[in-house]
Chain A
Amino acid sequence: MPRFPWFTALVLLLVVLAAILAPWLAPHPPLEGDLMRQHLPPAWLPGGDPAFPLGTDEQGRDILSNILFGLRVSLSVGFFAVLISVLLGVPLGLMAGYSRRFGELVMRLVDVQLSVPTFLIALVVLALWGAGLLKLILVIGVVGWAAYARLVRGAVLSEREREYVLAAEALGLSTPRVLFRHILPNVLSVVLVQVSVDVPRVILLEATLSFLGVGVSIETPSIGLMVKRGMDYLFSGVWWTTALPGLALMLLVLTTNLLGDWMRDAFDPRRRRVNR
């Protein structure tokens, strides 16, 4: 098994903790502005104020506090949306792998679903339905089912031929029991690997949709929204309202991806040989 990336895991843990503890850690309420202190630069630059370590935005809101609360939104979308996808996709995939007829039907639906990029579906649905955190989680979560269904079906199809399944069937165990007690634990590693790819993808998706203005509502602190607002002031020399939130988000996604890479190597014996 490849070496566990301790440093990456530690950084990720810190970012996650900072996001969870945002209400206690943030120096200011994220949405509290003051036009007297708009566009303060980060504290280490001339004109900066130590009370606002990463500066303020066009309404005088503290960037650091907004980043912390924004990461909270990113993480909740990443967690809950993927959870919905798994809860929908895995059972459907299990059943599709077991019943030939049902499997064909599910696979055709998967084809339809996957013939439009996730981003596009989320964009259209949210633009017409209105922005909002819960809607966003629901839409991304529901749209994500197809990848899991396809993956699990494929895994079940190959597991079915294995002796332990044949033995369980020969013993006369009921189909749901064979599926959930015997096959499911053995296809979980594929699911976990897919989750490790999906969480960072979904986090980026939320940020992108919010950046376009269709993600979370404007009263929600969000990295994407912050960058969107900061974009209007690029040519006035204000770089911290766009650069710093994006950097924080990248740190979260980067560590998640690195941990996912480790998981993929650890679970896949074929890759283990190649990557060492």
Chain B
Amino acid sequence: MRVINTRFNLKYDNVDEYGFMRPENFDYERYEKFMSSYLVILVNRSKKWDKLMKKGKRLQRGLVLKRYVKKGIPSSYRAQVWMKISGANELQIHQESDLYNTRLNSVLDSDVVQAIRTDLPRTFPDNIYFIPLEGSQEQLYRILFAYAADNKNVGYCQGLNYIAGLLLLVTKDEEISFWLLKVLVDNILPDYYSRKMTGLMIDIEVFARLTKSKMPDLYRHVKSLNIPWSLLIMKWFVCLYAEVFPTETVLRIWDCLFYEHSPILFKVGITLINYFRKTLLGCDNFTSFIEVFKKMPLDIFVLDCHYFMKRVNSENKSITNALLQKLRKEIKSEKKNYELNQLP
């Protein structure tokens, strides 16, 4: 979200609650208007969650919890609830004790260590918690190191720095961030970050096909402009919208991601493109299309996370895990000896 590098000259209102600089040309007036109504919603949701958390603490999966999650998890409960609904708690219980510290003490290939080190100062450089000597960089290093040691098949993939970094900002806890990162990469997302990134490339193709069925005119337009889908949406999927969308919107998406897994990633992208469909169709050349596309995530439509998520969840009910599995399977069998560069 960074536009200008003014991190040494901060005013509170330049920075969001997670320490991110607001973008240049940020529409404070409209944001305040949105926040005045969103704060009421937050207070209301918070009360409901208080009751829910007091009641069982087991957070049974079901319609109630699903509805609660879709409407947003209060920031004070996020770490705890994410751990539960994602299965990270379960994972932690069934692993050897103190896996995190064991991994921290393992030996890692120097190339991997170097790759992580290189990206540390380049992760959220304008976030006030990530400025050097603020400690978050070293915590982030340890999370990424531990994960790379835990899953040598993945090691370190650029993009994980943003995910782990945001997890750390939200949970304020290294070990919890490690477990959430682990459950995301190992269980929730299908092979996005391994050496060949096959699962990611398949999901980009799945996204293209969903666009084709939901917005055939737009799909044809993208095709006629010769724009590869990976150029358009790869970062969305690699970073799970972190470093793309405003922070609160990303966290609302992650609330759903930890609960329902992949469908939310597709629903979000489709909803956003659909909202800008006419504008995009009006772009008659490659450059103008990309320019509009790049600006979409900064629109007030996305910033108003509550309304945005309402639209996301109501418009795309047909996108389910079952549908995604079916499409992934189709694509895999169509392109057996799959090479990344044959993909969209």
A binds B: no
